[in-house]
Structure 1
Amino acid sequence: MHYLGPNRPLTSLSTWDEIVTAAEGGLLEENQWCELKAMLPPSSKATNLELARDLASLSVFGGVLIIGVADKTFDVAGVSTEDLEPIKSRVSQVASITITPPLAPVIHDPISSPEGKVVVVVSVPPSPVAPHMADGFYWGRSSDGKRKLSDPEVRTLMSARASNDADFLARLTRMVDRDPLADFTEEYPTGQGHMYFLAEPCAPMPPRPADLDVGQLRYAGSQWGGDWSGTLADCTSQAFDPEGQAFMSGRSVLPARYERNLCHFSVKDKDGSIEVVQGGATFIYESPDGETSHAILDRLVVIMTRQTFAPIREFSTEIGYMGQWRVGINLTNLKGKRRSTAQALANFPPFVSDTYTQTTLTSAHELQDQLDEATDRVLRGFKRGLGIEQWTLDNIVSRG
């Protein structure tokens, strides 16, 4: 489903008949959310800059670029199938090379006509780092199509971007103050570290289907759990969150040494944001000589980060949300502790700060086949602090 403007219904553009019906019904008139092109002219500096301006302008509020529909007459003629791969390649290259910061539009499967022509629909999600520059200017849109943004408009968007980033970071760190695991741990706080994950959509999400089972999202990344306890797949008990649906890995009060088996997963009703809290950033480690100390569970941190990205991908796919997500991780009570290992702890440096906090942007499109890249992006500094920066994620999970 595509959003084409405030006075237009959410519109499906997945078949030739749907494209024709939308065009004949006036839903595809160019505005802030829709750009039409009968075809892409041959590649040149000028035509690629024009394409860059189109894509950059759509990134402020999100929208679609439709190739194969005339912008004045709305004739749905399509383009040759021989042009399909060059079109897809040009859109991707222009978005990533000619636009600053780069964009990652979603190029949907081609829509074929009975005569063998195709229409290409390119979704440009609202960008949390808008405005984007092309040809030396920042671009946005009006009711008539793309236009250069004024200096005051650019400053307003830049200020909003900084404010959104700061607000997200504040919400992430405030999760510590309302930790849902506190009531299920003996003698809390125990001095052990917890993991806090927050994921928020950067743009309004489409309405959820009535039959969508939000609880099933917690199983999306269960293949990475192995024999670990306290992961998302173990959140089988209903929890009680006035802001949304929530699940926990059991509801018994546990001794501190089993704190790492606690996990809480919730999806908020208001905006679809996802929160995960896990009790095993660190744990009580008993060395072979009987000494007890606290160690960092780097393997569980990797597993939980992967698992938390998976519901984001599945949720977006189920409801048709193509926008980006802000995702953050906050690990607590790390200072002076080393990674957990079957080898001597002294082989690795102690973590020098009490918390590790990192945020990133991602999308369902990236998480379909680059989930490990997103995971590594948010954990790179964590790995560096443990002295294992060069290790792969699989290496961390498999090594004792």
Structure 2
Amino acid sequence: MRINGEGQWQPETEADIRACIDDADLQESHYLDMKREVGDNPRKRKETAADLASFALDGGALLIGVAENKENRTWELAPQPLNGLAERIEQVAASAVDPALFVATHEIPSAADPTTGYVFVQIPQSPSAPHMVDGVYIGRGDKTKTRLSDAEVTRYHAKREPIEGHLERLLDAERDRDHVPAHTQQTGHLYLVAHPLSARRDVALQLVRDDGSELLQLIVALEGTIPRDVREFAPTPGYATATATRAQGRAWCTQAALGPGRTFESTSAHNDEEDLLDIEFREDGGIRVLMGRMTATWGRYGGDAKTVVADGLAVAYALRVVRWADAIAERTGYHGSWGFGVLATGLRGLSSSAYQERFSSGPTYDADEYREVTTASGMEIHTRPQAVAGRLVGRLVRGLATSVRYDGLLRAD
């Protein structure tokens, strides 16, 4: 029996499944269930949705293509047509479970006929659990799915609210420790936080407190994963050429962020607040980003000056932070969930830079700031970082009417 990095059985071949059956090791449990098929009628789709949702509280797996022999209560191989099967499972998780559930599917072809086989569905512990199917919250007992009582649902929701509140407080703390005092800021600022929700407080100690070369390599290497459409919007991480030791970890920042005690120092005759960039990695695995160009003034050195919202930069840094979190998780062996938050200020009455590029005036934003928090499993940030970033900044680009330009960058393929 092959065990993955999170302590769960993970078959890779039909032989792995057969061996587990022959050894009588394949058993339904709190973390594993088997089904012959998914089915394509509404009743069977609902049953599959409930099976998936039942694992969301603690994580688990569903193996499709194995049938139970009712007479002797053993399992038998029952390979299913693979064409479109994994996609159907993912569609059920996304459309029949509320809120939509992230799952990872792995096809295992049959040796006799590779067009048939099995699908091993991994359901990571969901930060949004419990999930509903057809208006009913689903949980899991020792071996089967269960309907959660109102009291159980209330208890689970009560556990989730402190996480969201904690992320909100982290955003407020970043605004409070901004290099530039709020009353002197001349541009809108962007703050991003990423925080491992169940890691040791020193999970990234060695990574953060060494000479910093591995962290720098991480930043540089992952730039190639950022879509070209937004990757080169300034300031890029390449602008952060200075390093600073911090109370909580290590930072890379622009010269404008190198004032003593994390204060802002203008380094030119012109205000260079738009050059402000500070990327901080912490001993507890957390990431903090401050960027001073959430709004930018175009044409200020000649022509008609106009201040615009740099929403493309928000998209780029949301994608970066999720990618960096995944890399830190991989390097530290942390497999748990993450919390993310974004706060953008100085937005009211401004339109997106995307419209200015076309010499037109787009819709103006009607709020002073934008903020959003979300949570994601380690598996989701590894396999669908765009979707996590989309939950962070999707509402911002919709509010600025630039979804057509950026939505494609914020959706998993």
TM-score normalized with structure 1 length: 0.73
Partner in structure 2 of residue 59 of structure 1? 56
Q: Which moved more, 1:123-132 or 1:135-144?
A: 135-144
Partner in structure 2 of residue 274 of structure 1? 287
Residue 221 in structure 1 maps to residue 194 in structure 2: no
1:190-217 Cα distance to aligned partner (Å, 9 max, x none): 4432211123456769x99x99955444
1:362 CA drift (Å): 5.5
Partner in structure 2 of residue 262 of structure 1? 276
Partner in structure 1 of residue 324 of structure 2? 311
Q: Tell me which of 389, 392, 395 is aligned to 2:405.
A: 392
1:166 CA drift (Å): 2.5
Distance 2:76 2:128 in 1: 35
1:138-190 Cα distance to aligned partner (Å, 9 max, x none): 221222332222221111112223332222222222211233xx2xx699954
Q: What pairs up with 1:1-400 in 2 under 5 angstroms?
A: 2=4, 9=7, 13-15=11-13, 29-37=27-35, 39-40=36-37, 42-68=39-65, 78-80=77-79, 83-110=81-108, 118-179=117-178, 182=179, 189-200=184-195, 213-219=214-220, 220-222=222-224, 223=226, 224=228, 227-244=232-249, 246-249=251-254, 252-253=258-259, 254-255=265-266, 257-270=271-284, 272-283=285-296, 287=300, 296-312=309-325, 314=327, 325-335=338-348, 347=361, 351-360=365-374, 365=380, 371=386, 375=389, 378-383=392-397, 388-389=401-402, 392-393=405-406
Distance 2:223 2:396 in 1: 21
SS in 1 for 2:172: helix
Letter aligned with residue 53 of structure 1: A
Contact 1:325 1:362 (C-alpha < 8 Å) held by counterparts: yes
Q: Could you say if the C-alpha distance between residues 266 and 68 of structure 1 is closer, same or farther in structure 2, counting changes exceeding 3 Å?
A: farther
Q: Could you say if the C-alpha distance between residues 227 and 140 of structure 1 is closer, same or farther in structure 2, counting changes exceeding 3 Å?
A: closer
Aligned residues: 381
Letter aligned with residue 333 of structure 1: G
Distance 1:171 1:286 in 2: 35
1:378 CA drift (Å): 3.9
Letter aligned with residue 174 of structure 1: A
Letter aligned with residue 103 of structure 2: P
1:54 CA drift (Å): 1.4
Q: Which moved more, 1:135-144 or 1:285-294?
A: 285-294
Distance 2:182 2:129 in 1: 46
SS in 2 for 1:61: coil
Q: Could you say if the C-alpha distance between residues 43 and 346 of structure 1 is closer, same or farther in structure 2, counting changes exceeding 3 Å?
A: closer
Q: Could you say if the C-alpha distance between residues 114 and 243 of structure 1 is closer, same or farther in structure 2, counting changes exceeding 3 Å?
A: farther
Contact 1:14 1:111 (C-alpha < 8 Å) held by counterparts: no
Distance 1:394 1:157 in 2: 32
Distance 2:199 2:19 in 1: 26
Distance 2:181 2:132 in 1: 54
Contact 1:57 1:139 (C-alpha < 8 Å) held by counterparts: yes
Distance 2:241 2:15 in 1: 44
SS in 1 for 2:280: strand
1:250-290 Cα distance to aligned partner (Å, 9 max, x none): 564441722332322234443x4432221221346553657
Contact 2:352 2:402 (C-alpha < 8 Å) held by counterparts: no
Q: Which moved more, 1:25-34 or 1:287-296?
A: 287-296
Partner in structure 1 of residue 262 of structure 2? none
Letter aligned with residue 221 of structure 1: E
Letter aligned with residue 66 of structure 1: L
Contact 1:249 1:263 (C-alpha < 8 Å) held by counterparts: yes
Letter aligned with residue 260 of structure 1: E
Q: Could you say if the C-alpha distance between residues 366 and 177 of structure 1 is closer, same or farther in structure 2, counting changes exceeding 3 Å?
A: closer
Contact 2:68 2:75 (C-alpha < 8 Å) held by counterparts: no
Structure 2 portions without partners, runs of 5+: 209-213, 260-264, 409-413
Q: Could you say if the C-alpha distance between residues 27 and 332 of structure 1 is closer, same or farther in structure 2, counting changes exceeding 3 Å?
A: farther
Seq. identity, %: 25
Contact 1:30 1:71 (C-alpha < 8 Å) held by counterparts: no
Structure 1 portions without partners, runs of 5+: 396-400
Distance 2:94 2:16 in 1: 30
Letter aligned with residue 53 of structure 2: A
SS in 1 for 2:368: coil
Q: Which moved more, 1:157-166 or 1:16-25?
A: 16-25
1:271-321 Cα distance to aligned partner (Å, 9 max, x none): x44322212213465536578786543443343334334334555677898
Distance 1:83 1:361 in 2: 35
Distance 2:4 2:247 in 1: 31
